[in-house]
Structure 1
Amino acid sequence: MSEVLCSFENLQLEPSQQSVMKPSSHSGEPVFKSSHLRCVCYGIGSFSSCVISRYQLAFLLLLLEKLQIPKSQCYIFDPLFSELEIGVLNDLGVTVILENEEGKHHIHEVTIFYMIHCGKALYNNLLWSNWSIDALSKMIIIGNSFKGIEERLLARILERDYLYIAKVLKGTEEAAFPVHPQYMDIFNDTSIHWFPLQKLKELPPEAWQFQEEPVYQECDDLEIIRK
């Protein structure tokens, strides 16, 4: 956990957001002003039946505690949640999203998106919903490595099916999760991504002009459950 939290110290937020971060504690872990920080969790899966999902949920709860994010400011959704699981999440104090947003969640304040092993379309939809310098500079994504996505897909497929991932790559900073043999299946290929203001400003103007909603008509392996 300490290695992951240290990555947050290096986030280059725009000047108006610097007040979100307090000075580091004596332990070297950054401390955030909880009133300014939100968390959205997608795709954690059925934690009542899947051990991996339980580990991911446990890490999420620990992350909220360490970053001092009120549980009520953590919004969580998975189409696989049962009524029992929704009840457990309500008892834990997090806010369950009842509608499938397909990742199209627009933000106005600094928000951590916790999206372990989600489908590429979910990340792409999230980026599209926040396709502006202002919104992206307020976003932190914990999820599948964008570098890994770029390496595994042909460039023409990436640009055709997941255009917003392709366009944001040069505006992204990425820090890989530390590798631990005990948790390889839980956090493999996971990175923290953030989008420094200066890097976003260096993207070509035409990158911001095309803002059509993704439709995935030619995508053969859409990895999300749609509405």
Structure 2
Amino acid sequence: MADSSEWQCVRRGKGRARKAKLPQSEKQQTHECLDRERDKYRITEAINELRCEDFWPEWKEILSGCLRETVGGTVETSDCFMECVCYGLGNFSSCVSARYQLAMLLLLLDALQIPVCQCSLYDPVFTVSEYETLRELGFTVLTENEEGKRAVCRPTLFYLMHCGKALYNNLLWKNWSPKILPKVFLIGNSFLGIQERTLQRELESDYRYLSHITTVCEETCLPSSQRFLDVFNDTALIRFLPHKLHKLPEPIWDEPSEPQYEHCPDLEIIQRAREPK
């Protein structure tokens, strides 16, 4: 048996440096930073994938054609789409469809030569990390829920993928004029598709601006592939050409009242909190 004197109790020396531990807040910041870098990498991957899809050149051609003939030639090509607004994108960090839709938005901005900083985004479901990721990508991230009620003063492209009827209806109401609507361009759900899926009496009573405009808007289907059918299905470029808008009776344009949705149980929009009356 070994002599007991050979057994030593090994203890940490008082002078030995312990491994430094990051404070919890710093660890969280590091983790969030890594998450954002991961999300940006995934978005870049999605952009590269979409570039290789056959339908991307078709999207590009359709949008470029829109530039050439926009507003009956009354707007110079270089001045068209001075701004872009995106609502309802969703959680792109966790939802694959939302990530590809964001990637497509970045491709469109590049193709149409719209600076990323001139594109504003908002979705009430964005996480803090997603807000920061979008800012790091160069976007302008809105902090207020506009509910789609944004008035335009120059040609503006609205990117509203798979958004609810109320959002489209609110946007139309806010720009309800035969002089202003031609400055509004939409990439989103086909209005004809919405009309087919919705009872006519519901459209007329709850979404009347959408109901009025469907008969006179210019709608161009945007194609997809089988792989991305769930991401870009039922998507169209929608324009409001002056000569078509004038087909509507003049009284329709008089004093448009703000939409109210108190009696819509399945409202597909997150409304901002109202102050009690």
One-letter amino acid matched to 1:95: T
CA distance in 1, matches of 2:230, 2:152: 30
Partner secondary structure for residue 71 of structure 2: coil
2:203 — aligned with what? 158
Question: Does residue 107 in structure 1 map to residue 152 in structure 2?
Answer: yes
Structure 1 contact 145–176 (Cα < 8 Å) conserved: yes
- Structure 1 stretch 170-179 or stretch 63-72: which is displaced more? 170-179
Flag the structure with more relative contact order, 1 or 2, with Cα contacts below 8 A and sequence separation at least 6: 1
Counterparts of 1:32-43 in structure 2 under 5 Å? Answer: 33=78, 37-43=82-88
* Bigger fraction of residues in strand: 1
Deviation at 1:206, TM superposition (A): 1.8
CA distance in 2, matches of 1:53, 1:36: 23
One-letter amino acid matched to 1:209: D
Deviation at 1:135, TM superposition (A): 1.4
CA distance in 2, matches of 1:217, 1:207: 23
Cα 1:89/1:147, change in 2 over 3 Å: same
User: Unpaired segments of 5 or more residues in structure 2?
Assistant: 1-55, 273-277
Structure 1 contact 116–142 (Cα < 8 Å) conserved: yes
2:267 — aligned with what? 222
Of the two, which has the highest radius of gyration? Answer: 2
User: Unpaired segments of 5 or more residues in structure 1?
Assistant: 22-32
Instruction: Tell me the C-alpha RMSD between the 2 structures.
Output: 1.4
2:132 — aligned with what? 87
Structure 1 contact 172–194 (Cα < 8 Å) conserved: yes
Question: Does residue 201 in structure 1 map to residue 256 in structure 2?
Answer: no
Deviation at 1:171, TM superposition (A): 2.2
Partner secondary structure for residue 228 of structure 2: helix
CA distance in 1, matches of 2:125, 2:137: 18
State which of 90, 99, 110 in structure 2 corresponds to 1:54. 99
1:68 — aligned with what? 113
Partner secondary structure for residue 198 of structure 1: helix
CA distance in 2, matches of 1:35, 1:212: 29
- Give the number of aligned pairs: 214
Identity %: 48
One-letter amino acid matched to 1:136: L
Q: Deviations over 1:79-126 (max 9, x none)?
A: 011111110100000100110000001000000000000010000000
Cα 1:14/1:109, change in 2 over 3 Å: farther
Structure 1 contact 176–192 (Cα < 8 Å) conserved: yes
CA distance in 1, matches of 2:80, 2:181: 20
Q: Deviations over 1:12-49 (max 9, x none)?
A: 414431x1x1xxxxxxxxxxx26852100000001111
Question: Does residue 3 in structure 1 map to residue 58 in structure 2?
Answer: yes
